[in-house]
Chains A and B, each alone.
With several copies, the nearest count.
Chain A
Amino acid sequence: MNVEVRVQTDVFEGPIDLLLTLAQRQQVDLSQVRLGDLAWDYLATIREGTGSGPVRSAEELAAFLVVATRLLALKAASLLPGPNDGETEEDLESWEEQVRVRMAEYARFKEAALELMRRHAEGGFAFPSAIEAEIVPSERLAIDAGGLAGAFQAVLDRLPAPAEVEVELTRYSLTEEMDAIRARLRVAESTSFTALFDAAAGRLHAVVIFLALLELIRAGEARFRQRDVFGDIEILRGVAVADG
């Protein structure tokens, strides 16, 4: 009910809705309430026109009538004569019973409604999954874990074993090549530049031999000489000869 109809009786003062609720819980003795007073209070409310004006919708009127009717039914039920009063006894009993059942039912739904409200306020919601399309594979790409491991193993098998590579690298040691050139220059005072590379096993080896030669020249252990522009370069024993 949108409109609050307040009533004043000897046993109760307040909204008429509350009166109905209390009467249903038997917390107000309806036999002490004159229902005619309630009607007067309602009419008074209409005449005063609280705030929004005196005009009441049919809906609000109906709402009041329903509450009033319920109060009337309750009151009638409570005023019913005892069980030994003549022949309509059974009808009256069943009517009284019906009213009580109806009222009790309504009261239970009011309780249930309070429980729903309480639960809602507690916020114990249940949430569905909001799934992203990606979680569900949209492409039937059957990637097999075993196959993937196999593919990787195949790649590894194709590569030369790391151990072999290391052996190759140690074979071309700069100090070893320097020692080799020193040994040559101990035997002969000079040697041809190109002859130094006769033993080169490959490009990398040649580079290391050249680096070894540069190192010896820098240290003064070797010198070089070129007699004519296009002639062979001669490598000579240097002054700072390292022994051993």
Chain B
Amino acid sequence: MADIDVTLLRRQAEAVLFSLGAPIEARRLAETLDIDPRLLERVIDELSESLAGHGLMVQRHDGLVQMATRPEAADAVRRLLNPEVPGRLSPAAYETLAIIAYRQPITKAGIDEVRGVDCERVLEGLLNRGLVEERGRLDAPGTPRLFGTTMRFLQLLGVERVDDLPGVPDPAPG
């Protein structure tokens, strides 16, 4: 493959993500397109750019890629598909979600420390709602579970990547 047709790869990636309609590991997508994972990064970058001004976008998170609708079109989608189950996050859940979003991956002890209270129940709620998920274990005594946000979280937020969150404070020194 001397001459790599990035435009064709972009189209193929777009078609695959579209028809899959679910998150896929970047590694697996690269395999499907028969390209190097590093090239995939470029292909997805181009796809993301080509979808500017469209009703769709590419979301990337934790080694996963997926195609999703943009938030400005969300109302129309809801109107048609009619799923609208109103839900609300408690201030505690909101705060916990924020800590996880900006400090992921983080242990429960880490969240507790920042919030100053035990987050067991709040964390469970976020896990059940699919906003947060386990992300392996910390290599430390007791190997505590690590938590991070999900694709669904990005979806509800309507952003392409966690990096697109506004005003990310500097990482904690610890």
Do A and B have CB atoms closer than 8 angstroms in the complex?
A: yes
Task: Collect the chain B residues with CB atoms within 8 Å of residue A146's CB.
Answer: 166
A108 x B18 contact (CB < 8 A): no
A121 to B91, CA, bound (A): 13
Q: A131-B19, A140-B85 are in contact. Are A126 and B71 (CB under 8 A)?
A: yes
Residues of chain B with a CB closer than 8 A to A113's CB:
91, 94-95, 97-98
Contact A151 B83 (CB under 8 A): no
**Taking CB as reference atom, which chain A residue is nearest B154?**
A126
Which of A136, A147, A153, A155 makes the CB contact (< 8 A) with B81?
A136
Given contacts A127-B19, A148-B98, A149-B98, contact A135 B66 (CB under 8 A): yes
Contact pattern, A 156-177, Cβ under 8 Å of B = 1, otherwise 0: 1011001000000000000000
Interface residue ranges of B84-123 to A (CB < 8 Å): 84-89, 91, 94-95, 97-99, 101-102, 114-118
B99 touches A126 (CB 8 A): no
How many residue pairs at the A-B interface have CB separations less than 8 Å?
222
Query: What DSSP secondary structure best describes chain A's contact surface?
Result: helix
Chain A neighbourhood of B98, CB < 8 A: 109, 112-113, 115-116, 148-149, 151-152, 155
CB interface residues, A 107-121, toward B, < 8 Å: 108-117, 119-121
- Is B166 within 8 A of A129, CB to CB? no
Tell me the minimal C-beta distance from B60 to chain A in angstroms.
12
Q: Does A67 contact B (CB under 8 A)?
A: yes
| Distance to closest chain B CB from A123 (angstroms) | 6
A194 CB–B CB distance under 8 Å: no
Contact of B114 among A115, A131, A159 (CB under 8 A): A159
Report the bound CA distance from A119 to B166 in whole Å: 11
Whole-angstrom distance between the Cβ of A9 and the nearest chain B Cβ: 21
Contact at A136–B116, with CB atoms within 8 Å?
no
Give complex CA distance A151, B78 in Å.
Answer: 27
Contact assessment for A143 and B88 in the assembled complex, using a CB-CB cutoff below 8 Å? no
Give A151 to B103 CA distance when docked, in angstroms. Answer: 13
Please indicate the chain B residues that have their CB under 8 angstroms from the CB of A133 in the complex: 83
Is there contact, CB below 8 Å, between B159 and A109?
A: no
- Does any Cβ of A come within 8 Å of B51's Cβ? no
Q: 8 pairs across A/B with beta carbons < 8 Å?
A: A111-B167, A119-B158, A123-B74, A129-B68, A135-B19, A138-B85, A140-B86, A153-B169
Known: A127-B69, A130-B20. 17 other contacts (CB 8 A): A67-B116, A105-B169, A112-B102, A112-B167, A113-B97, A121-B88, A123-B74, A126-B74, A130-B19, A130-B81, A136-B77, A137-B78, A137-B156, A148-B97, A149-B167, A155-B95, A158-B116
Question: Chain A residues in contact with chain B, CB under 8 A?
Answer: 1, 59, 62-63, 66-67, 69-70, 101, 105-106, 108-117, 119-121, 123-149, 151-156, 158-159, 162
